[in-house]
A and B are shown apart, each in its own frame.
Chain A
């Protein structure tokens, strides 16, 4: 399905994840974050860029991966994206929802 986020038409999955990361813009990120009740700080953006980089390099995202990332620890990850940090941060970053479905 498609959705209008920040004035841009984007394709999203049933649960709101962008299906094409190239459609992503910072404005879209801000808009999705707002819906999740998060105001993005510089630190958020650092983490978002890192997540996008990981996906680009075909690295599967996981909570364990965060623990070993050297970028941030899990406590901070939860503080930045309360609730389900991996689910929420990837949605904001416009990358696919991490699959641990195996």
Chain B
């Protein structure tokens, strides 16, 4: 009997368990998945929780529900990966593996920025990348009377790169609906040279910020937070005052990667960007946020990766050459407020384009354009996530590699 061990039962790990359980012969392979946490969170929902759009119950479920029968689910803390010995040590047992899939994700590391965890943390400074942070921010916003709201992004890469911008857009709508937009000054602060991480997006979408009266500070590399003067200060000496700071702290891979000495300086595992095999060990594969591949850290990316990785694991078992297939495909809805959203579709080499999705000429979703239909798409995605995505069911008409049909590649034409 051979062992395939999956570390992490988040989006990527759960999808891999579901894909592989029907593909690997049960008599030959035992599949185990390890995760110390009981709850599976719908992380895209953390964006909506602060604005009372979603309730707590809509963004969490018991993780075990999504692990298929026939997969050994181990709810324990992972101590260390020993790649030389093909072993993983857990809190009170050791697992041997023939194939290891690392899907330990990424998490916020507020301790990386001086002063962020000071006296104002969770009082006037919040994150929304954790369930607890998002919930605390909701409670704060319910009673907040206005002032300077600073939405800030520490450094790249982060999970769901568009989320901070979406937060600023949704905040604008939220305060408008509450009839207090005139009491709130919103500033968006980024270490990048534009609002969007993709230049074509910045070009065609920067109107959104001015339209919503959101101020922008670019090229801001934060050095520290001053809890007394309530300012964020960058290495160049620039300072931005806040009454309420919503920040995306540095994102890092899990501590177990560091303990195992397998990561880069942000604890992401060096991974072949087209095959998803780890660079160091041929029987270790990496998927989702845990990799260092230059793709977005997002559920849609993990979904597309999972299809390629499933094929590659089967090829690896047979001793065949792996497919260099994964192209960095990402597909993201961007909430722009007022019940509208944008949709972007891109990969390693192709910038987001205009056009229709998923069907050429028909759509019904519009790429790079605000529409109410896109917003419905984003809300419908929660259902798709729980009922299709985690179970490894392919989303109809959306292929793992980026399709070039019905898309306009010269941005000036549209």
Contact = CB atoms under 8 A, between A and B. Distances in A.
B197 A74 contact: no
Contacts of B110: none
Contacts of B237: 78
Contacts of B235: 63, 74-75, 77-78, 85
Main secondary structure of the interface of B (DSSP, over half): loop
B193 A87 contact: yes
A84 interface: yes
A102 B223 contact: no
B156 interface: yes
Nearest to B112: A64
Interface residues of A, number: 19
A83 interface: yes
A60 B265 CA distance: 12
Nearest to B293: A102
B156 A74 contact: no
A62 interface: yes
A60 B293 CA distance: 12
Interface in A17-66: 60, 62-65
A101 B191 contact: no
Interface string A79-102: 000111101000000000001111
Given A102-B157, A102-B197, A65 B236 contact: no
Q: Which of B156, B157, B296 has the most CB of A within 10 A?
A: B156
Interface of A: 60, 62-65, 68, 74-75, 77-78, 82-85, 87, 99-102
Q: Which 8 A-B pairs rank lowest in CB-CB distance, beginning with the nearest?
A: A100-B156, A84-B219, A101-B197, A78-B235, A74-B235, A78-B236, A63-B221, A102-B294
